[in-house]
Amino acid sequence: MLKLLLTGGTGFLGSALVKTFLASNYDITLVSHYSAKAHQQFGQQVKVLAQVNELQADDSFDVIINLAGAPIFGALWTAKRKAVMRDSRIKLTTDLVAKIATFNSKPKLLISGSAIGFYGEQGTNIVTEESTIEPDFSQTLCADWEDAALKAEQYGVRVCLIRTGLVLGKEGGFLKPMLLPFKLGLGGRLGEGTQWMSWIHLNDWVAIVKQMMADEQMHGAYNATAPNPVTNSEFTQQLANSLHRPAFLPVPRVFLKWLLGEMADLLLCSQHVLPMRLQTLNFEFEYPDLSLALKQVVQVSDV
């Protein structure tokens, strides 16, 4: 039986993985501050530790999946909030790798979270794993998070970094708060709507993680995005069409900046990201096109 350790297992992405792995009867341990939430979600099928330092030298895991991190959306990006976002990712990952160093039996694989925020603002440039970065807070956050995870390689652990785009799913992600205003006919483009949005369906994201586990040749960073990104205007129109609603209330850039401050950059940043390394492996996306992905998510959300 495969033994897995997950951080961030109660979040949107992590919980999808746990449900998938439980269906395969894997032995799962979660590191989570939210033990009550974890048991509410998964019952007694998982073991829950409150923090990384509870791990012991004789603990043994085949794969560790590290997704923990305070939400990027939500609270304004004050200096205090930025520190929380960094510590919840970088410090936790550093602590996790330090624990790996003490294990008598090392894991074969560490899959560590990251995001396409790694690349920064890219305008109309087509972005692959080899592209030049544009530094900003999100870029530095992702880069330092990745660097912390890659230190596990010195202990003979294969490390895969999953640079996640905007994830479409019914139970969370960036789409969930958008559905109600769009269903009410109050949706619209953000800013000029020309910024590129690189998205991925949750099912495909889970499939990428599973391929990383199965393919021992995979290592380093992979863009977890669908092969067909769209502009914000196109995304807005397709979402409205999938809900059979109009979308004629654009949100001006200046208003987003006033309302959200620096966090508005997440909505206005343009990133035309392609999953080049996955395509080289002939990875097959279940939802390569936005119309199909939105149709599935919207239908499921209405059930």
pLDDT at 179: 86
Which residues, other chains included, contact 58 with Cβ-Cβ below 8 Å and sequence gap of 6+?
104
pLDDT at 214: 97
Q: Residue 77 pLDDT more than 90? A: no
Looking at residue 236, the DSSP 8-state letter turns out to be H
Q: How far is CA 196 from CA 8, 94, 192, 234, 274, in A?
A: 28, 33, 11, 9, 11
Q: Residue 155 pLDDT more than 50? A: yes
Strand order in the sheet with 220-224: 47-49, 27-31, 3-7, 63-66, 109-115, 158-164, 220-224
Q: How many CA atoms lie within 13 A of 136 on its CB side?
A: 16
What is the tally of helices (H) and strands (E) in the chain? 12, 14
Per-residue pLDDT of 49-76, as tens digits, reads 999 999 999 999 999 999 999 888 778 8
pLDDT at 300: 56
Per-residue confidence at 264, pLDDT binned at 50, 70, 90?
Answer: confident
Per-residue confidence at 301, pLDDT binned at 50, 70, 90?
Answer: low
Q: Partners of 205 in the beta sheet? A: none
Per-residue pLDDT of 192-247, as tens digits, reads 999 999 999 999 999 999 999 999 999 999 999 999 999 999 999 999 999 999 98
% of the chain residues with pLDDT over 70? 99
pLDDT at 303: 40
- Domains of the chain in sequence order: 3-301 (3.40.50.720)
Neighbours of 125 (CB within 10 A): 16
pLDDT at 247: 86
